[in-house]
Structure 1
Amino acid sequence: MARTKTPNPETPEPKPASCEVCRGTGEVSRTVQVGRKRRTVGHQTGLCLNCLGSGEAPE
Structure 2
Amino acid sequence: MPVFVKKVLLWGGVAFLFYFMAFRPDGAAQMFKAIGAGLMAMFQGLGDFMTSLMT
* TM-score of the superposed pair, with normalisation by structure 2: 0.19
Higher strand content, 1 or 2? 1
**Structure with greater Cα Rg:** 1
Higher helix content, 1 or 2? 2
